[in-house]
Amino acid sequence: MDLLILSIVFIVYFLLVGYVGYLAWKKTKSSEDFMLAGRKTHPYIMALSYGATFISTAAIVGFGGVSGQFGLGLLWLVFLNIFVGIFLAFIVLGKRTRRMGQNLESLTFPEFLSRRFQSKFIQYFSGLIIFLGMPIYASVVLIGAARFMETSLFINFHLSLIILSLVVSAYVIFGGIKGVMYTEAVQGTIMFVGMIFLLVFTYWILGGIESSHMALTNLAPHFPASAQALGGTGWTTFPTLGSDIWWYLVSTIIVGVGIGVLAQPQLIVRFMTVKSDKELNRAVLMGGLFIFVIVGTSYIVGALSNLYFFDTLGKVGVDVVGGNIDKIIPTFISSALPEWFVYIFLLTLLAAAMSTLSSQYLAQGTSLGRDIYQTLKKKKDVGSVKLTRIGILIAVVLAFILSLILPISVVAQGTALFYGICAAAFLSVYVCALFWKRATREGAIAGIVSGTVVSLFWLLFMFKKTAIGLGVCKFLTGQAILVTTMPWPAVDALLIAVPISLIFTVIVSLLTKPMAEEHIDKCYNGIGSTSNNLIKTNENINKDH
């Protein structure tokens, strides 16, 4: 390892990030600047910020490791990431979110829901979900980057966690969302270039696109026996329909993350940082290309790494890393690629981790400071920035502690878990807030609470991966899970909780008094009604309610 080159690379990177963070700090003068960048973000910065927040070490290391274990079936998630996470999110939901957020002068996602439904309970309850749930996601992102530093640079895992936590928290605490978005644009650019090189170099050392994929198909007889027993069939074929692995890939990873992205608070708030719909339109192409390159490369390289490991060590990836799939990508990079690229890729992973962590810490800080504390104390904007900074610091500590105690191979699972919880709690209510004028305060509360409760129940008592790991069901009932008949132990909570949340939101809204027409007009000012057929139907039905 050339410490001189490594030092130069790191010094240049951190000086660049520090300078960008300083610029953001100088331009942050108000709560709106700190939380929404003054609603004047450039589309390029917004797109890269959104993409860099969306895609982290969880995708590169965690989901790349899942692909290394189970194969290229994970590429279906790339399609959902682009079509749902970019196109639908920006064009269908993003434009309405931006306009309604501006109409209601909301600065956070919980505040957006709270003002749409005129409910303080929604604001602090939603803030509580975010503040308590997001440390799981933040900790697995930390773990992903720290594992690479441990594997490639031989830096102690715990020391790596400390370094990452200190650096990210510094520019988030002082720069707010401007610091986050400006640095994310830099980090996103580094990620984009680094991942293109990784994909090209991987195909080059494995003999080209066609030959490497053919060889991976022929490697199927060496697919781990433990995975075959659960329905795995190889790295280039989809698992057996209805098997454990099939349900895990489809319900937890592909659908859970692919759909759950629509309800991510740290992403939704990005829509409120631009000044017009034109910026969102312009951001779609850049955002889609960014996601395609980053996640597509991660999943392809993860699966193809098995070829390299088998040719050089006679073992496939899972066996090489001792079962810890979070080490598949770092080990492949360290072993197969030249040393200088290890340094460049380390920056790619650092950029991915820091970009996502900064948004997570900011979301947790605003949830604690603005959505929970100020709402419960019934204060307005007094001390928003100071309280948020305190919340960010607490979020950093919580994520660090969790990263020390979580088990191995947890990065992808932890990401999917948080995405699922957010989707269960917020997705139905968020969509109704944007598209259904008849949705009421009581309906929204019922949707958020029911989605949260059902999701937690399923995770603790029904879903095998989490129920067995947490042990709550075993402690209370003496059984590892309540139902052992397939497919229920393998069905992700999102598939159960989101429909239930939607049912509660709709039924309770129809049974309660419509919200004041003046308030609804304010919310939907400037928002077209072309997609409100359901609204009109239900308004006619309930006129005499």
Encode pLDDT of 446-495 as tens digits: 999 999 999 999 988 999 888 887 788 888 998 989 998 888 998 989 99
How far is the C-alpha of 392 from the C-alpha of 128, rounded, in Å? Answer: 14
Encode pLDDT of 255-298 as tens digits: 888 898 898 887 888 787 777 777 788 778 888 888 888 889 99
Domain that holds residue 335: 8-205+244-436
Place of tokens 């003999």: 207
Which CATH number do you get for residue 158? Answer: 1.20.1730.10
Q: Is residue 313 part of a domain?
A: yes
Lowest-confidence pick of 126-130, 134-138, 220-224, 310-314: 134-138
Q: What local confidence, expressed as pLDDT, does residue 470 receive? A: 75
Q: What local confidence, expressed as pLDDT, does residue 498 receive? A: 95
Encode pLDDT of 47-98 as tens digits: 666 776 667 666 787 888 889 999 999 899 999 989 998 889 888 898 899 8
Q: What local confidence, expressed as pLDDT, does residue 323 receive? A: 85
C-alpha pair distances (Å), 384 with each of 34, 174, 271, 395, 401: 9, 13, 21, 16, 26
Tokens of 492: 């992700």
- The better pLDDT of the pair 87, 358 is held by 87
Averaged pLDDT for residues 220-244: 88
Q: Name which of 93, 22, 15, 118 is nearest 522 in CA terms.
A: 118
Q: Is residue 27 part of a domain?
A: yes
Q: Is residue 144 part of a domain?
A: yes
Domain count, the chain: 1
Q: Is residue 486 part of a domain?
A: no
Please answer whether residues 255 and 348 qualify as being in contact, where contact means their C-beta atoms are separated by less than 8 angstroms: no
How far is the C-alpha of 73 from the C-alpha of 289, rounded, in Å? Answer: 20
Residue 429 confidence class, pLDDT cut points 50, 70, 90: very high
- Tell me the Ramachandran region of residue 231: left when phi exceeds 0, alpha when psi lies from -120 to 50, beta otherwise: left
Is pLDDT of 544 > 90? Answer: no
How far is the C-alpha of 24 from the C-alpha of 148, rounded, in Å? Answer: 29
In sequence order, what DSSP letters do the residues of 199-213 get, joined into one string?
HHHHHHHTT-HHHHH
How far is the C-alpha of 139 from the C-alpha of 132, rounded, in Å? Answer: 12
Q: Is residue 361 part of a domain?
A: yes
Q: What local confidence, expressed as pLDDT, does residue 527 receive? A: 81
**Please, where are the H alpha helices in 314-410?**
317-320, 328-336, 339-366, 375-377, 384-405
Q: Is residue 234 part of a domain?
A: no
Q: What local confidence, expressed as pLDDT, does residue 146 receive? A: 79
Please enumerate in sequence order all residues whose Cβ is within 8 A of that of 26, keeping only pairs 6 or more positions apart, or say none. none
Q: What local confidence, expressed as pLDDT, does residue 530 receive? A: 39
Q: 224-256: string of b/e by CB count within 10 Å (b at 16+)?
A: beebbebbbbbbbebbeeebbbbbbbbbbbbbb
Q: Is residue 173 part of a domain?
A: yes
Q: What mean pLDDT is reported for the chain?
A: 81
